[in-house]
Amino acid sequence: MKYMEIDWNKAWAEETELWNQSAGKPCQGFWEDKKSAEVFAKKDIQQHQKRLEKTLSLLELTPDMRVLDVGAGPGNLAVPMAKKTAWVTTVEPSPGMNAVLDDQIAENRITNITTIRTAWEEVDITVLTPPYDLVVASLSLGMSDLKGAIKKMNQVCTGQVAFFWHAGIPQWEDMPRALWPDIFARPYHGGPKSDIIFQVLYRMGIYPEVKIFPNDFCEIFESMDSAVSFYARRFQILSPEHRPIVEAYLKEHCKKDDRGLVHEFNHMIMKLSWRPNDFNQSGTQGDKR
């Protein structure tokens, strides 16, 4: 196939489907119940604070800004953004995540957040209140039609659209990549990465600003049993008979310290951002004369 014949949006959809099949469940499905979402929110704040702070600093928030947070999760970005801006609208399909977001809004006495409880692909623009000065999607690009999602974001944004996504192969994919060939007689397929996002944007005539930053972190567990249970839930394709295989891998790759059983990861995040008004409706760069 010739380079210019590659349909990068189709490639994104295919990679997303293979990713979901390898895990046994789409990523948004892991947080349907409130208890699971609470665990995620707590871990995100405790173990990913540097990433959250770096993300907020790169958004350059101002008091008069109106923000749309696509895939807001439990509100770990939405709540601090609401404290620094005029208004935040969240879009989040998971009932569990929305329940935790509601708690965070109440606990922080936030009065300037509107919640939309559905997937971005299903959002009717008429329920939104554009224009937004900032549209952000941070590690929340689980949709199959990336190009369609981008077009909709561009429609409602008069400022900046900012994506934060994985650059390169994150180290948490090492375990399934090592184990899946023996367990399932096929390779593990990780999710699509930022290179495809760039290609989709480029074909749309959008040339994003790109920045990268490290997001090294660790998962901390009270015991080996809780660690195995965590990954069994994360990769629902695993069955009880696979637990000893997962445990053997974790014994080799985790360490014990005063925090508990620690599984460390290296990870790079890429920020891709652009201003829709710099590009015309045909998807090509606007005339700036």
**Ranges of each domain in the chain:** 3-173+185-218+266-276
Return the biggest CA–CA distance within the chain.
66
Helix (H, G, I), strand (E, B) or coil at 88: strand
Could you tell me the pLDDT band of residue 4, with boundaries at 50, 70 and 90? confident
Residue type, 126: T
Least confident range of 200-209, 259-268, 273-282: 273-282
Euclidean distance between CA atoms 91 and 88, whole angstroms: 10
* Predicted local confidence at residue 283, as pLDDT: 46
Name the H helices within the chain.
8-23, 34-47, 49-59, 78-84, 95-107, 146-156, 174-184, 194-203, 224-234, 243-253
pTM here? 0.89
Taking only Cα atoms into account, the Rg of the chain, rounded to an integer number of angstroms, comes to 20
3-state DSSP assignment of residue 11: helix
Mean pLDDT, all residues of the chain: 90
pLDDT value for 257: 92
Tokens encoding 21: 């099949």
Q: Which of 29, 279, 269 is nearest to 158 (CA)?
A: 279
Fold of 3-173+185-218+266-276: Rossmann fold (3.40.50)
Q: Sorting pLDDT into bands at 50, 70 and 90, what band is 289?
A: very low
Model pLDDT, residue 287? 38
Q: Mind listing the pLDDT tens digit for each residue in 165-201?
A: 999 999 989 999 999 999 999 999 999 999 999 999 9
pLDDT band at 76 (very low <50, low <70, confident <90, very high): very high
pLDDT bin (cut points 50, 70, 90) of residue 105 is very high
Predicted confidence band of residue 31 (pLDDT cuts 50, 70, 90): low
Per the model's pLDDT, the better-predicted residue between 34 and 241 turns out to be 241
The DSSP result for 34-82, as a single string, is: HHHHHHHHHHHHHHSHHHHHHHHHHHT--TT-EEEEET-TTSTTHHHHH
Higher pLDDT pick, 38 / 177: 177
What is the rounded average pLDDT of the residues 199-214?
97
Respond yes or no on whether the N-terminal peptide bond of residue 131 is cis (omega within 30° of 0): yes
pLDDT at position 234 over 50: yes
d(CA 154, CA 128): 13
Of the listed ranges 42-51, 77-86, 243-252, the one predicted with least confidence: 42-51
Residue 284: is its pLDDT beyond 50? no
- pLDDT band for 216, please (50, 70, 90 cuts): confident
Q: If you average pLDDT over residues 227-237, what whole number do you get? A: 86
The pLDDT tens digits of the residues spanning 117-158 come to 999 999 999 999 999 999 999 999 999 999 999 999 999 999
